[in-house]
Chain A
Amino acid sequence: MIQLNGLEKSYDTAAGKFFVLRRVNLNIRQGEFVTIMGPSGAGKSTLLSILGMLDAAWTGEYFLNGEPVHSLKPKHRMELNKKYIGFVFQSYHLLDDLTVYENLEVPLSYRNMRSSERASVVCDVLDRFNIVGKKDLFPSQLSGGQQQLVAVARAVVANPKIILADEPTGNLHSAQAKEIMALFSKLNNEGTTIIQVTHSEANASVGHRTIFIRDGWIEKDEVIRHE
């Protein structure tokens, strides 16, 4: 589903070129649950941003479901983003001035879905995530775990093929983290490809494969066998 060939990202500094990612070659199949790990500054989040098409300044090849992202114009990249990608962030990044319901509606409104259809999809997701009772609350009225739950719901509301999660449990305590990871596992079992960035070994153990990055290089690519 995702194929990266010789992907590189660098910044020009006074001391010369500084590489954030170097010669990254990677294949991720549909339905995989991949964890990206590595020390701070290794390039994990950058890689995730490139996969989510939030970052366009890189070189190399990136194929998403056969589409050559590297040669697409920004508008087409945005189309691909809408079609395939859902995002979950460490800081939840819910829109403070929108209710839970409206937050879930936002991605659908950007996909030109009709209002009645949007309502039906949002209600369905609220139901699936057990947050119907919270639909009229604002993010500031929710706990951290509840906010991340809404953030995951928002990521899946447009039925993406891939969920990109950047340290999704970084701001949560362990019980809440477990809940979120169970949710990811469930979504993965239903066919969604999950790619998460995390420092947590426990979270990584939920996935099928762990990729270690250091100084922009892929250091290790391990398959996790579940008994």
Chain B
Amino acid sequence: MGRWFSDVRFASRLLRKQTGFTVMAGLALALGIGANTALFSLADALLFRPMLFPDLDRIVAVGGVESRVSNQLREMSVPDYLAFREQARTIRDLSAIDGWDVNLTGGGEPERVRGVKVSAAFFRTLGVSPPMGRAFLDEEEQAGRNRVVLISNGLWQRRFGADPGILRKTIELNGEAHQVIGVVPDDRKHPAWAELWAPLVFSTAQRAADGNFYLLAIGRLKAGATLPESSAEIAAIAERMSTQYPASHAGLGGRTGLLREVVSGEETPQFMYLLMGATGFLLLLACSNVANLQFARVSARGKEMAVRSAMGAGRFRLLRLLLVESVLVALAGAAGGVLFALWGVDLIKQGMPAAVEMRLPGWQRLGVDPRALLFTLGIGLAAGMFAGISSAWIGSRDDSQQLLKEAGRGATASGATHRIRGALVIVQIVLAIVLLAGAGLMIKGFRALLEPASGMAPAQLLTMGLHLPESRYADNAALRTFTAGLETRLDNATALASSIPYGNSRSSSNFRMEHSAEPEPGNRPITQQDSVSSGYFRAMRIPILQGRAIEQRDGADAGRVAVVNAAFLRRYLPEGNPLGKRFQIGNNPEVEAAWITIVGVSADVRHRWSDRTIRPLAYLPLAQSPRRSLTLVMRDANGDPLRLAGKVRAALREIDPGQPVFEVKTFQRLIDESVTPLRYMASLMGVFGGIALVLSTIGIYGVMAFTVSERTHEIGIRMALGAARGEVVRQVVRRGLTLTGIGLVIGLALAMALTRLASGIIYGVTPWDLGALGAVSLLLLSAAGLACYIPARRAARVDPMNALRVE
């Protein structure tokens, strides 16, 4: 023990003395460990434990799948849900979920609140019993007994000032009274964004509507049942449903998935794995950096090791000494890593807009995860120790006698050590260029993605949400009266739409073009639809490429018209003049729907940043296809559009004082929030790329500085023999740039291969984007050039007399 202590004491003293090495190695490890811990903590919160429900891995989501399109779970119809609930033997408490955004009125400003209607067993499925109040009773799943509601703790605090008597109160939702029966803790919510839960009751008509797909369902696996068994059972039931309802269910299947995987969606895991891959690379880079620094140290300490060996130290004792040093460096790095992780997680949390945060399950609980910290600490320690031991092992093979002989005149490292250190520099360059290329492509893609939106001058546009509840606006006539009233009160820079780009989801429908052949069932043409008012294209600045926009004259009694986007044309009307062509919306050819005439073609606008291609879209006049959920847009070309909100609210109060508006924000903010995940990706990749650049530059600098210091004697002789300073500089820089060049070639090949693999996540650019790859290569080459030049200049300043006097 005493001997270990003596090694620790000596190692600490040495590390204190060699501040440069200790700081560089500790910083490299701290960056690697910190980035990995922060990322693993993020992954843990978003992917592995996004929710705190008991036995989370037994809670499943059940849904339909369009087997020919993807395996992603999609909504099911009420008959599907009832069939799954009755027939599935592997799942208990299968609960349906339906979105239910409501206007909360009474006792203050009307407010739009996001909620869901759920089966009575819902909270039993999740294993949640509200600490305040109760969950639903089975009998509350019946009409007449369903006017009860659970509210989130957040809503209770915000809207009701944490009123302890809330359970005895009724609240008005969409104009109807509901009794509050419980308060749900914020960390036990599902969906994460919900603030209200009410019982889901199916009408007779709904029970028969096989063609309306809008329900999601969750359940618990019964004891002994496995996920594959359950999925097979659901698929079998779905197949029977396809046979029973061929028109609506053609090509549809069903499956079971883990709820935590379903809520994470498709993109979050992809992003997280990409980022985790990047931080893994960063840790490797940090480790190779530390290894290289260790090699330099061990090489420089050849004399000390030889003397110790002559004094009787065995190889193990020498290794132990270096091991102790490595552990101390790794511990210092780990301590720094903890600080970086804490800071990093804090930074990640701060940058997330509240509107996006509430949609991310697990985000609220994001913090430095002790398991992640231990894991990366372990890796950091192992890496530091490996670097120390391997360099010591190779170093200890050097001939002691030779080292002792040469020590007086500055021994140089062995060929093997040089080769290994060169290889480590190449590894660092490879890792750095991969990270930089990833960051470069990601940032470029992100910018390319936002570019089209800039033409819409999004900062000048005000957007706000409206929902016209059935209780107050019973039919299309009432909806038309409301929208017409609003339009007459606001100026012509205002428009209404059922959805706007980067906003709500759009609905899709099958349609058929006039005079077209009858398509196969399940293979009908499909288009998205938006209902828009007459000023929409002007307010949004979406160019009309052919024909005209939706106009005031396209009223309820006028002939039905549509403006289609260019993608619609490319897909369904690639030839001929599209204007005047007619189509019919609907799924059932037996039912006679109105013919809609195409009167214009608009430019394409991306609806979601994650859209790979622009989908066909038909804009219908709002007066002809009224909608309850609307977005109001209003342009103010001269100032801050948010100041227009008051004007809109005043107009609304005149029409319906109980009508709330929600999500009042500029279009720019809407876009920013929508692209938050990608912005995070691009920013984090940028940070990782920057760290990689710094670490690899330190690596090259370390090697070149050491090479110069150990060759001072040789350089002195060369200069005494007449070598010019420029020649010395060139010689040193050449070696550094050769290593960099080899690393660049390998790294670029690897970067292109990896980018191809990750092309599902990196948007807007191709893996062969020579501009981006060239730019990052140039950046790395410049940094490497500088890292070589500084030691080279020092070499050129060597005074031959001083260098030779050492001998």
Contact = CB atoms under 8 A, between A and B. Distances in A.
A97 B314 contact: no
Interface stretch (B404-412, B496-504, B596-604): B404-412
B577 to A, nearest CB: 86
Interface in A73-113: 75, 78, 81-82, 87, 89-91, 93-98, 102, 106-107, 109-112
Contacts of A94: 307
Interface stretch (A45-53, A64-72, A123-131): A45-53
Interface stretch (B9-17, B59-67, B125-133, B645-653): B9-17
B117 interface: no
Given A78-B314, A91-B408, A97-B17, A46 B401 contact: yes
A111 B312 contact: yes
Contact of B307 (A78, A95, A109): A95
A45 to B, nearest CB: 7
Interface in B732-784: none
B304 A54 contact: no
20 contacts: A46-B401, A49-B400, A54-B309, A54-B310, A54-B400, A54-B404, A55-B399, A87-B311, A89-B307, A93-B306, A97-B14, A97-B304, A102-B10, A107-B312, A109-B3, A110-B308, A110-B311, A110-B317, A112-B3, A114-B2
B308 A81 contact: no
B328 to A, nearest CB: 15
Nearest to B17: A97
B401 A49 contact: yes
Contacts of A81: 312
A115 interface: yes
Among B13, B310, B311, B407, the one with the most A-chain Cβ atoms within 10 Å of its Cβ is: B311
Interface string B310-325: 1111100100000000
Given A54-B310, A93-B307, A95-B304, 19 more contacts: A45-B401, A45-B405, A46-B401, A49-B400, A49-B401, A52-B310, A54-B401, A87-B310, A87-B311, A91-B404, A91-B407, A93-B303, A93-B306, A93-B407, A102-B10, A106-B308, A106-B311, A106-B313, A110-B317
Interface of B: 2-3, 6, 10, 13-14, 17, 303-304, 306-314, 317, 399-401, 404-405, 407-408
A95 B6 CA distance: 15
A191 B309 CA distance: 25
Among B2, B310, B404, B407, the one with the most A-chain Cβ atoms within 10 Å of its Cβ is: B310
A49 B405 CA distance: 11
Contacts of B405: 45
Contacts of A110: 308, 311-314, 317
B128 to A, nearest CB: 61
Interface string A147-179: 000000010001000000000000000000000
A82 B10 contact: no
Interface residues of A, number: 31
Among A46, A90, A110, A114, the one with the most B-chain Cβ atoms within 10 Å of its Cβ is: A110
A55 B306 CA distance: 12
Nearest to A111: B312
A210 to B, nearest CB: 23
A109 B308 CA distance: 11
A75 B313 CA distance: 11
A97 B399 CA distance: 22
A55 B401 contact: yes
A214 to B, nearest CB: 20
Contacts of A106: 308, 311, 313
A58 to B, nearest CB: 11
A75 B404 contact: no
B6 A109 contact: yes
A91 B407 CA distance: 8
Contacts of A93: 303, 306-307, 310, 404, 407
Contacts of B304: 95-97
B552 to A, nearest CB: 88
Among A90, A91, A93, A98, the one with the most B-chain Cβ atoms within 10 Å of its Cβ is: A93
A148 to B, nearest CB: 13
A115 B2 contact: yes
Contacts of A91: 404, 407-408
A8 B308 CA distance: 26
Contacts of A52: 310
B401 A78 contact: no
A56 B17 CA distance: 35
Nearest to A53: B310
Nearest to B2: A115
A107 B309 CA distance: 9
A102 B405 CA distance: 23
A213 B359 CA distance: 87
Contact of B312 (A78, A97, A98): A78
A106 B6 CA distance: 10
A30 B312 CA distance: 21
B310 A95 contact: no
A69 B13 CA distance: 38
A96 B212 CA distance: 83
B322 to A, nearest CB: 14
Among B10, B308, B309, B404, the one with the most A-chain Cβ atoms within 10 Å of its Cβ is: B404
A139 to B, nearest CB: 11
B9 to A, nearest CB: 9
Among B2, B17, B307, B399, the one with the most A-chain Cβ atoms within 10 Å of its Cβ is: B307
A163 B681 CA distance: 67
Contacts of A82: 312
Contacts of A96: 304
A42 B145 CA distance: 109
B337 to A, nearest CB: 28
A20 to B, nearest CB: 11
A98 B10 contact: yes
Nearest to B409: A91
Nearest to B408: A91
A107 B311 contact: yes
A115 to B, nearest CB: 5
Closest 7 pairs between A and B when the two form their complex, measured CB to CB: A110-B312, A82-B312, A49-B401, A91-B408, A107-B311, A93-B307, A115-B2
A95 B401 CA distance: 16
Nearest to B309: A54
Nearest to B314: A78
Contacts of B407: 91, 93
A107 B310 CA distance: 9
A170 B780 CA distance: 50
A98 B9 CA distance: 11
A107 B307 CA distance: 10
A75 B13 CA distance: 30
Nearest to A105: B6
Contact of A154 (B13, B14, B306, B311): B311
Contact of A158 (B3, B17, B307, B312): B312
Contacts of B3: 109, 112
A95 B308 contact: yes
A65 to B, nearest CB: 17
Contacts of A45: 401, 405
